[in-house]
Amino acid sequence: MPTEFSKKLAAHETPIPGVVLYDLPVHGDNRGWFKENWQREKMLALGLPDFRPVQNNISFNEKAGTTRGIHAEPWDKFISVATGRIFGAWVDLREGPTFGAVFTAELDPSQAIFIPRGVGNAFQTLEDNTAYTYLVNDHWSADAQGQYTFLNLADESSAITWPIPLDQAELSDKDKAHPRLQEVRPMQPKKVLVLGADGQLGKALREKFDGDSFVEFAGRREFDVTSDDAFARVNWKNYSTIINAAAFTSVDAAETAEGRAAAWRINVTAVARLAKCAVEQDLTLVHVSSDYVFDGVQEVHGEDEDLTPLGVYGQTKAAGDAVVSIVPRHYIVRTSWVIGEGNNFVKTMASLAERGISPSVVNDQTGRLSFTQDIAAGIKHLLDTKAEYGVYNLSNEGKPQSWADIAADVFELAGSKREAVTGVSTEEYFSGKTAAPRPLSSTLSLAKIKSTGFEPASSSNRLTEYLKNELIKP
């Protein structure tokens, strides 16, 4: 059968998620033919993942009937036929609901197919002198073979109808010995690593991903983001995503000599290491940012606003954002006024209310609270829905309030009088104190994250729940 010429470049979905069959334009004349076997720009425009191939392999097969597979490797593959013709069979061997799904097709040089990590690949040559090519996004090594998943070519549940019966085909002894589907251990997905897992947000992420065996959590003792050794100990090929919840967050301490050094070390230098790792290993990097990257002049801050930090803490967070933005697959999740497990403003105000103390609280800084359970839910949503990469503001919903307004709400919910809270200006509150400059407006626009289908919970409802569940206990 001759190669089909003059097809248009086209993509065709298959029953196996992520497996896509491509028609390739082949131009021929009396001398032979020419094709663009792999053209990144055009392929990406058709929806092919930017899988960053690093090695090209060719399997030459002298006789028709040569049959190889079914092998699922721990990397992605773009497969095509250089010369000849094959019958291809692909079986989903990944853990999940489509485990065991089968797709078959005949391929000549005018076609190619993308096979994601964990999908078994097999082929049978239909012509002599057939060359089968693989473009892969990891370097082959002997160690990697231990991560393969195999399926027997004659597996009854897959019921692949080979054009040349297997008892008449050329098979290797190894391929004949592979297990049936019921004996196959599915290839597990790559893992997510959560750093800073012992902080306020880290604890909320632990709760949100509880029961997911493919999410790992590391506090500072398990993974110190400032340590080169910590990075060297991890086999990053087993991971798809890093969620960075580690940060230096002591705003006022960052204005001291020691605090300034620590803030830059954790919020910038360590983040640069994470970004470098994400670029080199093709990982998704989720990084948590702050309203302090803005000077607070704008009443509401959008994701595209220029960074205008006032103090050292804000400067380090802005620098960290700039570093993360170079990672091809990144989410910068920008929050404000974070409340979670541990010491925070709400707990402090509730304690003062319980003790009958009437505080003076700043009334000219406005914004919204961000409860860690909702930040964690937003991060999971972005990952689960594969939202467009970039910057997303994420706080709770509701009318912007001042710190004094929130303190009065806490006092009222705790059974005290709102009037016990006295409002003062930022200048008055910090008079005679060493303190970092604060943005007067910390309100973040939530339109972008809402457009992905995520609806942040009401700040007032979360505050009521928080005080009821965490503080006002019988």
Catalytic residue set: 71, 134
Omega before 86 within 30 of 0, i.e. cis: no
Relative to beta strand 422-424, strand 360-362 is: parallel
Q: Compute how many other C-beta atoms are within 10 angstroms of the C-beta atom of residue 67.
A: 24
Q: What share of the chain is helix, strand, coil (3-state, %, to 5)?
A: 30, 25, 45
User: Nearest-CA neighbor of 152 among 173, 169, 126?
Assistant: 173
* Sign for the pseudo-dihedral over CA of 130, 136, 140, 144: negative
Q: How far apart are CA 14 and CA 171, in angstroms?
A: 27
What are the start-end ranges of the E strands in 305-372?
330-335, 338-339, 360-362, 366-367, 370-371
User: Which tokens belong to 65?
Assistant: 């009937």
Q: How far apart are CA 145 and CA 54, in angstroms?
A: 17
35 sits in which H/E element: strand 32-35
Per-residue three-class SS string for 182-238? HHCCCECCCEEEEECCCCHHHHHHHHHCCCCCCEEEECCCCCCCCCHHHHHCCCHHH
Q: How far apart are CA 234 and CA 71, in angstroms?
A: 26
Supply the Cα-derived Rg of the chain in whole angstroms.
28
Q: How far apart are CA 84 and CA 128, in angstroms?
A: 7
Q: How far apart are CA 192 and CA 212, in angstroms?
A: 10
Q: Compute how many other C-beta atoms are within 10 angstroms of the C-beta atom of residue 119.
A: 28
Q: How far apart are CA 21 and CA 43, in angstroms?
A: 12
Q: DSSP letter at 268?
A: I
Residues in contact with 155: Cβ distance below 8 Å, sequence separation at least 6, in sequence order = 70, 91, 180, 181
